[in-house]
A and B are shown apart, each in its own frame.
Chain A
Amino acid sequence: MIEARELSKSFRVKGGQRLRAVEGVTFTCRPGEIFGLLGINGAGKTTTLRMLATLLTPTGGEGRICGFDIGREPEEVRRRIGFLSTATALYGRLTGLEVVNYFGRLHGMTEEKLAARREELFTALGIHEFQDRRCDQCSTGMKQRISIARSLIHDPEVMIFDEPTLGLDVLAARQITRFIRDCRERGKTVLFSTHVMSEVAKLCDRVAIIHRGAVRDAGGVGELAERHGVDDMEEIFVRAVGETANVVSVASGEDVS
């Protein structure tokens, strides 16, 4: 269970100004559900997910993971989440096996439990054949599979994936989305972010469209289609966000505040 209530984050930037990356984001993601955070570059997706993963401290609002407050019990929260983002790289000088073992031990798993869970994940993700290769010699797809095994080694109740298919080819991306769906079948709470509209339509039960740090619209995929009168996710997104011109200006990195 993930609960975000009025989550906000502002960064101090050069010149003493504050950049409001996330403003009052509220949503709930329940077990057995895939919740998508849809937004363009710089919308505030990563910042929101980092706050929920206790990597960043919110400047406003609160969040709970499985009932634990992200501000007050960060270690309990981290115990219960598997976090994967574009910025969570692997140790290049270690092998896939070593990386996964390391994170299992950091989670305090016993060696037997670790071995059993590792077997399960390596088989599901097809890692065995390159498990003894150093990570810096693995392809992007191999790395992503190891990263997923790394983030799920402790069998977390909550999974937070930030653009998990970024930079992957069609087949690799399909394998990941299939895996995410499997997790839902097993009753996990899955929160993931993306800027790929089609992925949301295929995978998500519910979506929040985030733009300039704020949630513009949220609900089931069907619900959103009905509300905006179109089926196409891209069209829904553009209507929810409203101003096409601004989408362009934000995407090209102009001032957001």
Chain B
Amino acid sequence: MNGGLKTTGVIFRKEFLDTIRDRRALASMILVPLIVIPLIIVGFGGLSFVVMERAESRQLTVMVLQAEEDPALVETLAGNPNLRVVEADADYADLISSRRVNAAVALPENFRQEVERGKVPRIVIHTYEGELSSSLAAQAVEEVLRGHLREIQRERLAGAGLAPEFLTPFTLARQNVAPPERVGGNLLGGVLPYLLVILCLTGAVYPAMDLTAGEKERGTIETLLTSPAPRSCIVYGKFLVVFCFSILTALLALGTLGASLWAGTTLLRAQADFGELSLAVSPSAVASVFLLLVPVAVLFSALLLAISLFARSYKEAQTYISPLMIVAMLPALVAAMPGVELTPVLALVPVLNVSLVGKEILTGLFPWGPILFVFFSTCLYAAAALWGAVCLFNREDVLFRAS
């Protein structure tokens, strides 16, 4: 047993050194989290910020149909600094569709007379559903029109000798009582476990292929097998390296994620009143999620090791691993969607269960029963995968597959 541990250590050290010297493996471990994540966070966040700002600051083009019905109202619309009123055109629908006009306001015939006679005419705003500028234009138009509506209401109430409060029996307000972590957790909670699961996987893929299929391709596996090292020790040593890379990738990603989020929020706060929205998550929650991730990394490492051990070459390993990537990413993605909650059945699905529990933890909840259940079930899956890898490594038809 003692000798076995020592041999495993010797193999681990050598395989680690070997992998560290491989530029491609390093790239998959470091480049992805170090460059891609800040790029996604800052790039995406910054981009949406810029798009919003631009859309808000730009003058929106609005067309008024039958403007002659209420020139005063059109005047008020044109007075709004965000709106630019253009000449009416019968082709307004085409113009909106081709985004040359953001919205069109159609005043009905005899609008003013009907209002005066109390006939409740209807103003229709034509928009391009789902388009940001169009909905912003419609919003601005609606605001102006509502102001006009309230103005008439006030006049009528005054005419009838009633106070403006007559039609306002009470008011409504919403108040957020969730702690800042929960608000941040809700935003991050869905995405963070997903991201970490994916990175655990991507960090393990390259070393797993390199230490098995790669060794076969380079012909070093036979050299290793002639040594007296027990086959199980060889698998454990290799597995530990893959596992290390998996965890290191996730850790590195967590670090860069934290750093870029911090940078991003301070940047945004400096630019606008962003104070309300905090992205803070408690460090203990992140640590717990990370702890849950350990058996996931074990599972991925063992699984990838077994699969690529079976392959004769990198190419073959890649063909086997690509579907696994999708199979593993799908549950993580499902868990990232809002509204998917942990149920007893889902708690049995590997990867998905961890992502779901991680989501709960990051929103400030610690459901201990499910957490332990998910932890141990994942450990069980991981042990099975590792056992499978050892079994495969004892089969000569797998090690010496005729090419």
* Distance, CA A75 to CA B229, complexed state (A): 7
Q: What 0/1 readout, one digit per residue, does chain B (12-24) give for beta carbons within 8 Å of chain A?
A: 0010011001100
Is the C-beta of B226 less than 8 angstroms from some C-beta in chain A? yes
* Distance, CA A102 to CA B15, complexed state (A): 10
Partner of B10, one of A53, A85, A105: A105
User: Is the CB–CB distance between B228 and A79 below 8 Å?
Assistant: yes
- With A93-B18, A93-B21, A108-B7 already in contact, the answer to whether A87 and B226 are too (CB < 8 A) is no
Is the C-beta of A45 less than 8 angstroms from some C-beta in chain B? no
Is the C-beta of A257 less than 8 angstroms from some C-beta in chain B? no
Please name all residues of chain B whose beta carbon is closer than 8 Å to the beta carbon of A53 when the two chains form the complex: 226
Counting chain B CB atoms within 10 Å of each CB, the highest count among A55, A79, A85, A102 belongs to A102
Please name all residues of chain B whose beta carbon is closer than 8 Å to the beta carbon of A76 when the two chains form the complex: 228
* Distance, CA A59 to CA B3, complexed state (A): 31
* Distance, CA A79 to CA B112, complexed state (A): 104
* Distance, CA A12 to CA B17, complexed state (A): 37
User: Is the CB–CB distance between B17 and A98 below 8 Å?
Assistant: yes
Is the C-beta of B400 less than 8 angstroms from some C-beta in chain A? yes
Is the C-beta of B171 less than 8 angstroms from some C-beta in chain A? no
User: Is the CB–CB distance between A90 and B226 below 8 Å?
Assistant: no
User: Is the CB–CB distance between A78 and B227 below 8 Å?
Assistant: yes
Is the C-beta of A196 less than 8 angstroms from some C-beta in chain B? no
User: Is the CB–CB distance between B17 and A94 below 8 Å?
Assistant: yes
Please name all residues of chain A whose beta carbon is closer than 8 Å to the beta carbon of B222 when the two chains form the complex: 55, 85, 87-89
Is the C-beta of A92 less than 8 angstroms from some C-beta in chain B? yes
User: Is the CB–CB distance between B227 and A103 below 8 Å?
Assistant: yes
Q: What is the CB-to-nearest-CB distance from B16 to chain A, in angstroms, rounded to a whole number?
A: 12
Q: How many residues of B contact A (CB 8 A)?
A: 26
Partner of B223, one of A11, A75, A98, A150: A150
* Distance, CA A55 to CA B230, complexed state (A): 12
Please name all residues of chain A whose beta carbon is closer than 8 Å to the beta carbon of B397 when the two chains form the complex: 12
Q: What 0/1 readout, one digit per residue, does chain B (277-311) give for beta carbons within 8 Å of chain A?
A: 00000000000000000000000000000000000
* Distance, CA A81 to CA B222, complexed state (A): 14
- With A13-B402, A57-B396, A93-B22 already in contact, the answer to whether A151 and B226 are too (CB < 8 A) is yes
Q: What is the CB-to-nearest-CB distance from A107 to chain B, in angstroms, rounded to a whole number?
A: 6
Grouping DSSP codes into helix (H, G, I), strand (E, B) and loop, the B interface class, with mixed when no group exceeds half, is helix
Q: What is the CB-to-nearest-CB distance from B278 to chain A, in angstroms, rounded to a whole number?
A: 46
User: Is the CB–CB distance between A102 and B396 below 8 Å?
Assistant: no
> For the side of the interface on A, what is the size category?
20 to 34
- Residues 46-81 of A contacting B (Cβ, < 8 Å): 50, 53, 55-57, 75-76, 78-79, 81
Is the C-beta of B11 less than 8 angstroms from some C-beta in chain A? yes
Is the C-beta of A83 less than 8 angstroms from some C-beta in chain B? yes
* Distance, CA A167 to CA B6, complexed state (A): 37
- Residues 186-221 of B contacting A (Cβ, < 8 Å): 218-220
User: Is the CB–CB distance between A107 and B227 below 8 Å?
Assistant: yes
Partner of A83, one of B226, B229, B396, B402: B226
Partner of B226, one of A88, A91, A102: A88
Is the C-beta of A106 less than 8 angstroms from some C-beta in chain B? yes
Please name all residues of chain B whose beta carbon is closer than 8 Å to the beta carbon of A56 when the two chains form the complex: 396, 400
Q: Which residue of B lies closest to A81 (CB)?
A: B226
Is the C-beta of B398 less than 8 angstroms from some C-beta in chain A? no
Q: What is the CB-to-nearest-CB distance from B252 to chain A, in angstroms, rounded to a whole number?
A: 22
- With A91-B220, A102-B14, A106-B10 already in contact, the answer to whether A11 and B228 are too (CB < 8 A) is no
Please name all residues of chain A whose beta carbon is closer than 8 Å to the beta carbon of B22 when the two chains form the complex: 93
User: Is the CB–CB distance between A75 and B230 below 8 Å?
Assistant: yes
- Residues 170-210 of A contacting B (Cβ, < 8 Å): none
* Distance, CA A151 to CA B225, complexed state (A): 12
Partner of A107, one of B14, B219, B228, B400: B228
User: Is the CB–CB distance between B228 and A87 below 8 Å?
Assistant: no
Q: Which residue of B lies closest to A134 (CB)?
A: B21
Q: What is the CB-to-nearest-CB distance from A87 to chain B, in angstroms, rounded to a whole number?
A: 5
Q: What is the CB-to-nearest-CB distance from B230 to chain A, in angstroms, rounded to a whole number?
A: 6
User: Is the CB–CB distance between A55 and B228 below 8 Å?
Assistant: no
* Distance, CA A107 to CA B222, complexed state (A): 16
User: Is the CB–CB distance between A89 and B228 below 8 Å?
Assistant: no
Please name all residues of chain B whose beta carbon is closer than 8 Å to the beta carbon of A12 when the two chains form the complex: 397
Q: Which residue of B lies closest to A108 (CB)?
A: B3
User: Is the CB–CB distance between B14 and A55 below 8 Å?
Assistant: no
Q: Which residue of B lies closest to A19 (CB)?
A: B402
Q: What is the CB-to-nearest-CB distance from A78 to chain B, in angstroms, rounded to a whole number?
A: 4
Please name all residues of chain A whose beta carbon is closer than 8 Å to the beta carbon of B6 when the two chains form the complex: 108
- Write 12 A-B pairs (CB below 8 A) sorted by A numbering: A11-B402, A57-B396, A88-B219, A88-B220, A88-B223, A89-B219, A91-B223, A93-B21, A94-B17, A102-B10, A106-B11, A106-B228
**Apart from A78-B227, A105-B10, A106-B10: 15 A-B pairs, beta carbons within 8 A:** A55-B222, A55-B399, A57-B396, A76-B228, A81-B226, A83-B226, A90-B223, A91-B14, A93-B22, A94-B17, A94-B18, A98-B17, A103-B227, A106-B7, A106-B11
B-side residues, CB < 8 A to A, are 3, 6-7, 10-11, 14, 17-18, 21-22, 218-220, 222-223, 225-230, 396-397, 399-400, 402
Going nearest first, the 9 A-B pairs with the smallest beta carbon separation are A89-B219, A83-B226, A88-B223, A106-B227, A78-B228, A93-B21, A79-B228, A105-B10, A87-B222
